[in-house]
Amino acid sequence: MLEADFVIIGSGSAGSAMAYRLSEDGKHSVIVIEYGGSDAGPLIQMPSALSIPLNMPLYDWGFASEPEPHLGGRILATPRGKVIGGSSSINGMVYVRGHARDFDHWAEQGATGWSFADVLPYFKRMEDSHGGEDGWRGKGGPLHVQRGARTNPLYAAFIEAGRQAGFELTDDYNGAKQEGFGPMEQTIRNGQRWSAANAYLKPALKRQNVSLVKGFARRVIIENQRAVGVEIEARKQIQVVKARREVIVAASSINSPKLLMLSGIGPAKHLADHGIPVVADRPGVGQNLQDHMELYIQQEATQPITLNAILNPFSKALIGARWMFFKSGLGATNHFEAAAFVRSAPGVDYPDIQYHFIPAAVRYDGKAVAKSHGFQAHVGPMRSKSRGSITLRSHDPNAKPIIRFNYMSHADDWRDFRHCIRLTREIFGQAAFDPFRGQEISPGSHVQSDEELDAFIRSHAESAYHPCGTCRIGRADDLHAVVDPECRVIGVDGLRVADSSIFPRVTNGNLNAPSIMTGEKAADHILGRTPLAPSNQEPWINPRWQVSDR
- Parse the chain into domains and list their residue ranges: 1-143+189-286+388-398+466-536, 149-183+293-381+409-460
pLDDT (0 to 100) of residue 208: 98
Strands 216-223 vs 226-234: parallel, antiparallel or unpaired:
antiparallel
DSSP 248-307: EE-SHHHHHHHHHHHTTEE-HHHHHHTTPPPSEE-TTTT-SBB--EEEEEEEEESSS-SG
**Helix spans in 65-177 (H):** 100-108, 116-126, 153-164
Tell me the pLDDT tens digit for each residue of 326-369.
999 999 999 999 999 999 999 999 999 999 999 999 876 666 67
Q: Is the pTM of this model over 0.75?
A: yes
Positions at the binding site:
5-34
d(C-alpha 62, C-alpha 506), whole Å: 22
> Confidence class of residue 311 from pLDDT cuts 50, 70 and 90?
confident
Task: Encode pLDDT of 138-156 as tens digits.
Answer: 999 999 999 999 999 999 9
Q: What is the pLDDT of residues 49-77, one digit of tens each?
A: 999 999 899 999 999 999 999 999 999 99
Residue length of the chain:
550
Residues annotated within a binding site for FAD: 5-34
Which CATH homologous superfamily contains domain 1-143+189-286+388-398+466-536?
FAD/NAD(P)-binding domain (3.50.50.60)
Pairing label, strands 495-497, 237-249: parallel
Q: Are 260 and 471 in contact (CB under 8 A)?
A: yes
Handedness of CA 136, 142, 144, 145 (dihedral sign): negative
* 31 φ/ψ angles, rounded to the nearest 5 degrees: -115, 130
**Looking at the predicted structure, is the pLDDT value of residue 449 above 70?**
yes
In this predicted structure, what is the pLDDT of residue 364?
63
Spatial contact of 216 and 233, defined as CB atoms under 8 Å apart: yes
SS3 category, 541: coil
Please name the residues in contact with 124: beta carbons below 8 A apart, sequence gap of 6 or more: 136, 137, 138, 141
Q: Which residues are catalytic?
A: 466
Q: To the nearest whole number, what is the mean pLDDT of the chain?
A: 97
Does the structural domain 149-183+293-381+409-460 have CATH classification 3.30.410.40? yes
Q: Examine the pLDDT at 422 and tell me if it is beyond 80.
A: yes
Q: Find all residues with CB under 8 Å of 25, minimum gap 6, and list them.
A: none
> Which one, of 155, 271, 143, lies nearest residue 202 by Cα?
143
Residue pair 89/65 in contact by the 8 Å Cβ criterion: no
Pick from 377, 379, 399: nearest CA to 390: 399
- Which pLDDT does position 366 carry in this prediction? 65
Distance (Å) of CA 397 to CA 222, 471, 531: 16, 18, 36
Reduce the secondary structure of 428-480 to three states and give it as a string.
HCCHHHCCCEEEEEECCCCCCCHHHHHHHHHHHCEECCCCECCCCECCCCCCC
Distance CA 157, CA 163 (A): 10
